[in-house]
Structure 1
Amino acid sequence: MERTTTASPADFLDRALVEESAKKSGLLWVQPAGQPHARPLWHAWYDGAVIVVGDGAEQPLHGLTADATATLTLRSKDKGGRLVTFPATVTAVAPGTPAWDGAVEELKGKRLNAPDTDTIGDRWARECRILRLEPTGPLAPHPADALTATPIPTPATTRKPIPAGLPKLLFKKKHKS
């Protein structure tokens, strides 16, 4: 017996917004359930879901695990502002399956400066995880405030001002003799 679901036009528009936003943006913010912070991840859109590759020599997935949930926030590619936030279920993609092969092909095109483009799928199968984040539930409403937060602690430091004499050294004219 087939199950039929009734979806409103708003549901289709929400789904279209998520899909278009995910296809156009190369970066999203992921907050795994129970984690205090959202983290940026590069991703691709494949077969109705966001896919990410991580761990090993790739981006850290910071507590993102299979059979869990997460909140995803997609941003505008041109302005960088928040477009849409939605819940997603997380599942692992198993190496050697057709879903894995399709995900690798899609992610490979988004991976910048890979040292091993021809054999990247083999390396990912050995060292990394590919996770599928499928949108579920309604879109979150846009917040009334800016949602600013204290930055995550890091050993990185702010660059110091350039020395006053540096522009003179860089842009001084060479005299012809």
Structure 2
Amino acid sequence: MTDDSLLGHALIEEATKKSGLIWVRGEGPARALWHVWHDGAAHVVGGGPGEQPLPDGLTEGATVEVTVRSKDKGGRVVAWTALVSAPAPGSEAWTAAADELKGKRLNAPDAETMTERWARECRLLRLTPREAVTELPQGSLSAVPLPTPATTRRPVPPALPRLLLRRRGR
């Protein structure tokens, strides 16, 4: 390995470890995924009920693009290509990654049996870095948010402004 590739891999590892989310682009638009860095790769879990949706194209042997943003400023730190692999549920690699992910999973309804549910209903994927992309695209790359059933915006009830004004007058 050259010094540049070693530096690139060190940047990928440190930036990905410190970031709460990574943006992964497979065949469609990129999705923000929570992850954990373990054993030289980013690991994600999802695709099942109650877990994060995974982007299209995250299949065994596929190559995807991962963008890491700064936790503080939100700007892109590094983008890298990754080889996707799926450890077999119950294998030593799967168990080690699932244990790391379990510690990072917030608000799980079934914290005690979460890894068993992941083995049955979800996919745990390993994103192994191939190379750092040294030239990032120019511009903001902003896009329309992906559709989600989590939208809760509704019109303001007509009586709400009167109730708020009445409280302020007391």
Could you tell me which of 16, 35, 60 is aligned with 2:53?
60
Could you tell me which of 2, 6, 9 is aligned with 1:7?
2
- What is the percent sequence identity of the aligned residues? 52
Gaps of 5+ in 1: 1-5
Aligned to 1:135: 129
Aligned to 2:100: 106
Please report the TM-score for the alignment, with normalisation by the length of structure 1. Answer: 0.82
Kept after mapping to 1: 8 A contact 2:80/2:129: yes
Give the counterpart letter for 1:118 in structure 2: E
Distance change in 2, residues 1:157/1:17 (3 Å): same
Kept after mapping to 1: 8 A contact 2:78/2:132: no
SS in 2 for 1:137: strand
Larger Rg: 1
Distance change in 2, residues 1:165/1:62 (3 Å): same
Q: Does 1:40 align with 2:50?
A: no
How many positions carry a matched residue from both structures? 165
Q: Does 1:76 align with 2:70?
A: yes
Please report the TM-score for the alignment, with normalisation by the length of structure 2. Answer: 0.85
2 CA distance for matches of 1:100 and 1:69? 20
Moved more, 70-79 or 140-149: 140-149
Give the counterpart letter for 1:168 in structure 2: L
Aligned to 1:87: 81
Query: 1:12-62: CA deviations, max 9, x gaps?
Result: 222121111111112111101xx2311111111110000000111211113
Gaps of 5+ in 2: none
SS in 2 for 1:90: strand
Deviation at 1:149, TM superposition (A): 3.2
